[in-house]
Structure 1
Amino acid sequence: MTQVLEFRLPDLGEGLTEAEIVRWLVQVGDVVTVDQPVVEVETAKAMVEVPCPYGGVVTARFGEEGTELPVGAPLLTVAVGASTEAAEESSGNVLVGYGTSAAPARRRRVRPSPHGARPADGPRREAVPGSGRGTLPAEEATGATAAAAPVRTRREAAPARSDGPIPVISPLVRRLARDHGVDLRQLAGSGPDGLIMRADVEDVLRTTAARTGTTGTPEAAAAAVPQGRGAVTAEAASQAPGAVTGGTRIPLRGVRGAVADKLSRSRREIPDATCWVDADATELMRARAAMNATGGPKVSLLALLARICTAALARFPELNSTVDVEAREIVRLDQVHLGFAAQTERGLVVPVVRGAHARDAESLTAEFARLTEAARAGTLTPGDLTGGTFTLNNYGVFGVDGSTPIINHPEAAMLGVGRIVPRPWVHEGELAVRQVVQLSLTFDHRVCDGGTAGGFLRYVADCVEQPAVLLRTL
């Protein structure tokens, strides 16, 4: 007996409430096994594959690639029992960011018979969510995706309609509206039970074109519609005073959107200040070269700087803290979870090295390498990107000398390291060419005053100039 089960986007953890579909890994009609990854999604923390807890035949997919889904929204439906090869019990392993116990089996495409019969007995009919239209043949209800799923697309406003999902005839119509800034929530569909048709969207484009003096096809009329986020209709957008009509719009979503939200919050809540100092890093560079010349795993410069940071935080624990605004308390933290800024193709991320204060230079080097590779591959888990207590920002890799970075909320400080370059320097009373670096400390002025921040930065500079100072903490 065939049973159609619905798999919904699982709880992503870490307070995440939505994810964007990056790439579907299965098609409608494919046979899937228990725990087989079926879709790749991007959250505000990382890009992960979502495994399906059911085995069977995929009968519907909800959401196009590029669509944002809230947690709990349908992802796909699976006909369990339609294939003896894939009919298995649910595993329950649907937590994003964790692997599955078995490797996915090769997908097998279920081909319809020449008469169009479905794999299950008889033609399958499904309800269109939110349409109130009863049932439609499965081929109309699903197609490539289920168009009426309660999702939020790139240009649609975030809040859902109070009366449920928007009934749209096909994903193509939804894409047409999204691409031209038409808010589907403001349209009264001409189809059965208010179903929004392609003609309804084109009518809005023609009306807008007539008001702006544009003539021609709906495509030409669409050019007159501002490419907004869809919080207002295309007609209203064209009348908005001072509306921006040119340029390219890039939605702030996924990792980029999460970074924007966090940095904005940091600027609003943290009264930050920055101090900086130039340091002679010649001896530190020599010490690193000597370490790596002895054989064994190579020690990175970032690891040495991290070791200096943890030693400095042991002397100045005020900077390894956070502020509880509601309780009006400074929470001084016992452990150092060191974040470091890593630039990837998907934007800036800040992986966290857990227990950095208890690691030596070799261990720090290995963990930096692991997290950096995972960041570039887009496989960092939410746990890898949260819980930091202090951030080390090596912006010198971009060829710049100094910066005043924004604190990674809710932390209290960030150490910035510029590029190390040969410069004239007075060394032992004589002018010489030395390897000089600019160090900067941006700190939350609520947790400490300038004297503490200056003492921390001076200690870091002393360790850079004379690595032997670190022997006291080894």
Structure 2
Amino acid sequence: MPQVFEFKLPDLGEGLTEAEIVRWLVEVGDVVAIDQPVVEVETAKAMVEVPCPYGGVVTARFGEEGTELPVGAPLLTVAVGSEGALGPVGLVDAGSGSGSGSGAEAGSVVSAVGSGAGSGGSGSGEAEASGNVLVGYGTGAPVARRRRVRPEAMAVPAAAHVTASAAVSAAVPDAVQGPVAVVSPLVRKLARQHDLDLRQLAGSGPDGLILRADVESAIRALTEGAAAATPTSASVPESVSAVQPSGPSVVQPAASSAVERIPLRGVRGAVADKLARSRREIPDATCWVDADATELMAARSAMNSAGGPAAGPKVSVLALLARICTAALGRFPELNSTVDLEAREIVRLPEVHLGFAAQTERGLVVPVVRDAQARNAESIGAEIARLTEAARTGRLTPAELTGGTFTLNNYGVFGVDGSTPIINHPEAAMLGVGRIVPKPWVHEGELAVRQVVQLSLTFDHRVCDGGTAGGFLRYVADCVEQPAVLLRTL
């Protein structure tokens, strides 16, 4: 006898409490394997494919694409058959006799949040749960090829006007399809479009199953009731029309264009919350300086040309600036810290987890290079390239977007010279880098055209004063102007 397992949105880690459904990877009626990804969701941190810990037939999905669900909300239900009805990888055999059960053969609905069989499960149902715990992203199990259940292999009541997606109701008792006695997502969608509460309808199908005909009948009743309550033009008293103004016709203003409202959720909502909190809590200040980057650019060209093609990937300007930052933080550790408001303490951090701002189609994200203080320029550059590609494809994990201690913001890629960036809370500072452009510059007592860049440092005035911030920025500028200065710390 099959059991219906309810799979709920699991805890995605990193304190995330909700996620938006981006794309369903399965349809109602599909046969899924244990740990097969069933839905792609977007959190405030990253895009995540959520695997289902059960193998069986998908009987219902909860939420359309674009719907935001809290952790613990139902995602879908899966009908898990008896051991004889399952193949070696836990797939329901569409050709077996498991689909011939009637509504009286009701199994229990067992809930699970992210892993394992629920406490209410027993028998074969427990054997079908993977037991894997999802935190942040998939469980890593191989994905089996899914098969769609053939409607002709199911026993569908002849009197019911059931859509093709509801064909799995014969394999699973109708009374246990979820919180509402309805299987078809088309029926749910039709009810939502007309603001119908399915819990108020009495289903005419087996065991009270709500059919499309039941919803259409309720819609007709609402439409007829609304039409009866609306007065016709013939019922308007003549005295009303006589009161109309007799002068020149009054020109009514044209209807204004619709105002667009964009929800602050997902990555955009997370960025908004963090920036607003930073402005509320951090008394920031900014200092800046122009630096001659001609020697830095020459050093980079020499690095990338030395050794020929076998020398490895080219070192980027951002990687060199990141390495300069780690050296500067070693000299000025006050800026690699955070403030504990409750304890009223400044917490200096031993490792430098360097974040860098990356603009993507989904918004601004800040991937983090772990233990940057222990990496050279080549290693930092390789990690920046890997994280940048993951950011562009939306595959960054929550762990790769959190835990930063200092941020490098290269806004020069947007063609601007300077900025006063907002600190990435709860960090204490951010270095901003403008574009590197040819400018007239006094070099060795003579006017010359040099490659000039503006550097800015926004810092938390609680962790240090202007002398420390100025010393940090001056050291960074010295390393940009004379890269040989950096050799002392390598």
Which TM-score tier does this pair reach, normalised by the shorter chain? Answer: 0.7 to 0.9
**Deviation of 1:176 (Å):** 6.3
Name the residue aligned to 1:394.
410
Once residues 199 and 315 of structure 1 are traced to their aligned partners in structure 2, the CA distance between those partners, rounded to angstroms, is: 76
Q: 1:30-179, aligned counterparts within 5 Å?
A: 30-81=30-81, 83-85=85-87, 86-87=89-90, 89-113=128-152, 116=156, 124-127=173-176, 136=181, 141-144=182-185, 170-174=188-192
SS at match of 2:432: strand
Once residues 204 and 374 of structure 1 are traced to their aligned partners in structure 2, the CA distance between those partners, rounded to angstroms, is: 55
Task: Report Cα offsets for 1:299-347 as digits up to 9, x if no partner.
Answer: 1111100000011111111100000011111101111000000011100
**Deviation of 1:438 (Å):** 0.3
Q: Is there any run of 5+ residues in structure 1 with no aligned partner, and where? A: 146-168, 178-183, 211-243
Name the residue aligned to 2:98.
none
**Deviation of 1:355 (Å):** 0.1
Name the residue aligned to 1:235.
none
Aligned residue identity for 2:72: G
Name the residue aligned to 2:297.
285
Aligned residue identity for 2:175: E
Q: 1:47-446, aligned counterparts within 5 Å?
A: 47-81=47-81, 83-85=85-87, 86-87=89-90, 89-113=128-152, 116=156, 124-127=173-176, 136=181, 141-144=182-185, 170-174=188-192, 191=201, 246-295=258-307, 296-297=311-312, 298-446=314-462
Once residues 175 and 456 of structure 1 are traced to their aligned partners in structure 2, the CA distance between those partners, rounded to angstroms, is: 59
**Deviation of 1:189 (Å):** 8.8
Residues matched between the structures, number: 400
Q: Percent identity between the aligned chains?
A: 75
Contact 2:352-2:373 within 8 A present in 1 as well = yes
Root-mean-square deviation (CA, aligned residues, Å) is: 3.0
Name the residue aligned to 2:16.
16
Alpha carbons of structure 1 residues 122 and 378: separation in structure 2 relative to 1, 3 Å:
closer
Alpha carbons of structure 1 residues 8 and 205: separation in structure 2 relative to 1, 3 Å:
farther
Q: Does 1:459 align with 2:475?
A: yes
Alpha carbons of structure 1 residues 203 and 409: separation in structure 2 relative to 1, 3 Å:
farther
Contact 2:59-2:77 within 8 A present in 1 as well = yes
SS at match of 1:126: helix
Once residues 175 and 69 of structure 2 are traced to their aligned partners in structure 1, the CA distance between those partners, rounded to angstroms, is: 21
Once residues 191 and 176 of structure 1 are traced to their aligned partners in structure 2, the CA distance between those partners, rounded to angstroms, is: 13
SS at match of 1:331: strand
**Deviation of 1:449 (Å):** 0.8
**Deviation of 1:103 (Å):** 2.5
Aligned residue identity for 1:84: L
Aligned residue identity for 1:44: A
Once residues 370 and 353 of structure 2 are traced to their aligned partners in structure 1, the CA distance between those partners, rounded to angstroms, is: 5
Aligned residue identity for 1:434: R
Once residues 445 and 246 of structure 1 are traced to their aligned partners in structure 2, the CA distance between those partners, rounded to angstroms, is: 44
Once residues 335 and 122 of structure 1 are traced to their aligned partners in structure 2, the CA distance between those partners, rounded to angstroms, is: 56
Contact 1:52-1:94 within 8 A present in 2 as well = no
SS at match of 1:113: helix
Contact 2:2-2:171 within 8 A present in 1 as well = no
Once residues 200 and 252 of structure 1 are traced to their aligned partners in structure 2, the CA distance between those partners, rounded to angstroms, is: 38
SS at match of 1:170: helix
Once residues 412 and 25 of structure 1 are traced to their aligned partners in structure 2, the CA distance between those partners, rounded to angstroms, is: 41
Task: Report Cα offsets for 1:209-246 as digits up to 9, x if no partner.
Answer: 99xxxxxxxxxxxxxxxxxxxxxxxxxxxxxxxxx983
Alpha carbons of structure 1 residues 176 and 18: separation in structure 2 relative to 1, 3 Å:
farther
**Deviation of 1:392 (Å):** 0.1
Once residues 372 and 47 of structure 2 are traced to their aligned partners in structure 1, the CA distance between those partners, rounded to angstroms, is: 25
Contact 2:50-2:138 within 8 A present in 1 as well = no
Once residues 404 and 415 of structure 2 are traced to their aligned partners in structure 1, the CA distance between those partners, rounded to angstroms, is: 26
Under a length normalisation based on structure 1, what TM-score does the superposition of the two structures give? 0.78
**Deviation of 1:413 (Å):** 0.4
Contact 2:3-2:172 within 8 A present in 1 as well = no
Under a length normalisation based on structure 2, what TM-score does the superposition of the two structures give? 0.76
Aligned residue identity for 1:257: G
Contact 2:354-2:372 within 8 A present in 1 as well = yes
Aligned residue identity for 2:192: R
Contact 1:50-1:96 within 8 A present in 2 as well = no
Name the residue aligned to 2:7.
7
Q: Is there any run of 5+ residues in structure 2 with no aligned partner, and where? A: 91-126, 158-166, 204-213, 232-255
Task: Report Cα offsets for 1:172-193 as digits up to 9, x if no partner.
Answer: 443566xxxxxx9xx9997569
**Deviation of 1:73 (Å):** 1.0
Aligned residue identity for 1:470: L
Structure number, greater radius of gyration: 2
**Deviation of 1:201 (Å):** 9.5
**Deviation of 1:247 (Å):** 1.5
Alpha carbons of structure 1 residues 172 and 320: separation in structure 2 relative to 1, 3 Å:
farther
